[in-house]
Structure 1
Amino acid sequence: MRYSLKFGLFIAVLLLLWEMLVRLLHVDSYTLPAPSAIATAFITAFPDYKDDLVPTILLVLAGLLVSIVVGVGMAVMLHLIPALEPFIYPLLVVSQNVPVIVIAPLLVIWFGFGLLPKLIVITLVCFFPVTVSLLEGFRSVDQDLRKYMLIAGASRMQIFRKLEWPGSMPFLFNGLKIAGTYSVMGAIISEWLGSDKGLGKYMIIAQRAFQVDRVFVALVWIVIFALVIFSVIKVLEKLTVRWKHD
């Protein structure tokens, strides 16, 4: 709670300085609008962008779900079949060094303007932290417990289900927090490719019309979505990994 109050005070001070500098320096609204102008547009322009909120939310949730499935599946496969890691892990690293904004137009050419290229973009952005964090969790379990289970005659899958998977949950949620915040950015980038609805489309239209205040309105909603997803994941972590917090 104390951390939240300090952060809120910090943001309030930044907004106040922003407002003062814009007014004192007479900065044009199409260059950098004041926070008060953005707040006004946030309310008055709501009828214009309200239909763009739901498509972005649904795209974020769908992309995040696919990213979690791919990320967890990749980590489990590499952990249970170590012989694959020298071949697949470098490819995973390479996938994070290819700029998504560059490969995105190719995805449109290959798969069209439907949902699939958008999900691929979000997955490319989000799956890696899930995979890396979960792999680290698998390798960080108590080795003494592992030896004890081997001595007791536990099979490889029993060790995985009863020791490695539960023990890696804190690491998994750390990866999910990163992926959850990245998923919003990935959804916006995918909407830039070509979409009839969504905040990404709204941002492009506002930018071309030099309505910078509305561009910032979209940015505010992006931050809100990211914070909500991060908070939901934290709540799920507390409910799932109770022993860690206790």
Structure 2
Amino acid sequence: MIRKSQSITNKLWSCSAVLGLLLLWQGICSAGIIEAYLLPSPASVGRALITEFPALMEHGKITLKEAFAGLFLGVVLGFFIAVIMDHFHGLYRAIYPVIILTQTIPTVALAPLLVLWFGYEMTPKIILIVLTTFFPVAIGLLSGFQSVDPDEVTLLRSMGAGNVSIFRYIKLPGAMGQFFSSLRISASYAVVGAVISEWLGGFGGLGVYMTRVKKAFAFDKMFAVIILISVISLLLMKGVDYLSKKCMPWEEI
């Protein structure tokens, strides 16, 4: 009951903060402090969201398809890299600096090269999402693998367990918390990465839609897309939270 009461209180505070920001936004627009063509009011953004909803859904399907494909491949790649670095210390010292180097390259600078090399289809967008999402998963899992209790590992080895058994019964369960925390970050990165890649070329997607409405100076529609992207990211993060509760029921005890 205490936990449920705290959850309700936290949600009330969050909803109050969002409502307060909306009221402040509406007040600024109604008072004419900022011109309407620069900052559309929440009411006009809501109307744009309703009138453009069918088009947004069509473009959103493309963006979600890219985001899910890139996120899945990014998680697989991150898991593989984390396992390799955990088992082979020499490869860890060789691979880790390269992984860090990949994250120092701005995605906005890399996206045009991927479009140039792979065209305007889905392939360059998925590659960019993979490069964006694999890093949190790899680092989170590696941290989880390395934080296991060494006494537990020694105990299993004394009972004749091999590396596979130690990984299955100690390292993997012990790293699940860090994995889902990293997956939550990667899920939000996947949507943002898909939109950024669509800015630079494509035939559909929320990024392409944003580029079109920006050129038409339809900023109410631009804000509508931003809100939709935020909602999608939040839903994906909530989905990861739900999955983590199903995979780690002992955390709820």
Report the TM-score, using the length of structure 2 for normalisation. Answer: 0.94
Q: Given the alignment of the two structures, is residue 139 of structure 1 paired with residue 150 of structure 2, yes or no?
A: no
1:219-238 pair list within 5 angstroms: 219-238=226-245
Task: Determine the structure 2 residue equivalent to 1:8.
Answer: 15
- Please, which of 198, 206, 215 is the counterpart of residue 208 of structure 1? 215
Task: Determine the structure 1 residue equivalent to 2:70.
Answer: 63
1:84-233 pair list within 5 angstroms: 84-233=91-240
Shift of 1:159: 0.7
Shift of 1:26: 4.5
1:58-86 alpha-carbon deviations (Å, 9 max, x no partner): 11111111111111111111111221011
Q: Partner amino acid for 2:230? A: V
Q: What is the distance in 2 between the residues matched to 1:229 and 1:46?
A: 20
Q: What is the distance in 2 between the residues matched to 1:200 and 1:75?
A: 32
Q: 1:233 to 1:48 in 2, by over 3 A?
A: closer
Q: What is the distance in 2 between the residues matched to 1:143 and 1:77?
A: 19
- Please, which of 51, 57, 60 is the counterpart of residue 44 of structure 1? 51
Counterpart contact for 2:145–2:175, Cα < 8 Å: yes
Counterpart contact for 1:29–1:213, Cα < 8 Å: no
Q: What is the distance in 2 between the residues matched to 1:195 and 1:28?
A: 32
Structure 2 gaps of 5+ residues are: 1-7
- Please, which of 228, 241, 248 is the counterpart of residue 241 of structure 1? 248
Q: What is the distance in 2 between the residues matched to 1:108 and 1:207?
A: 21
- Please, which of 76, 81, 84 is the counterpart of residue 88 of structure 2? 81
Q: Which runs of 4+ in 1 moved over 4 A?
A: none
Q: Partner amino acid for 2:234? A: L
Q: Partner amino acid for 1:70? A: L
1:215-240 alpha-carbon deviations (Å, 9 max, x no partner): 11110110111011000100010010
Q: Given the alignment of the two structures, is residue 35 of structure 1 paired with residue 58 of structure 2, yes or no?
A: no
Q: Partner amino acid for 2:157? A: L
Q: What is the distance in 1 between the residues matched to 2:113 and 2:77?
A: 21
Q: What is the distance in 2 between the residues matched to 1:140 and 1:188?
A: 35
Structure 1 gaps of 5+ residues are: none
Q: What is the distance in 2 between the residues matched to 1:35 and 1:238?
A: 35
Q: Work out the percentage of aligned pairs sharing the same amino acid.
A: 36
1:23-78 alpha-carbon deviations (Å, 9 max, x no partner): 11353222111111101111122244332121111111111111111111111111
Q: Partner amino acid for 1:230? A: M
Tell me the matched-pair count: 246
Report the TM-score, using the length of structure 1 for normalisation. Answer: 0.97
Counterpart contact for 1:29–1:212, Cα < 8 Å: no
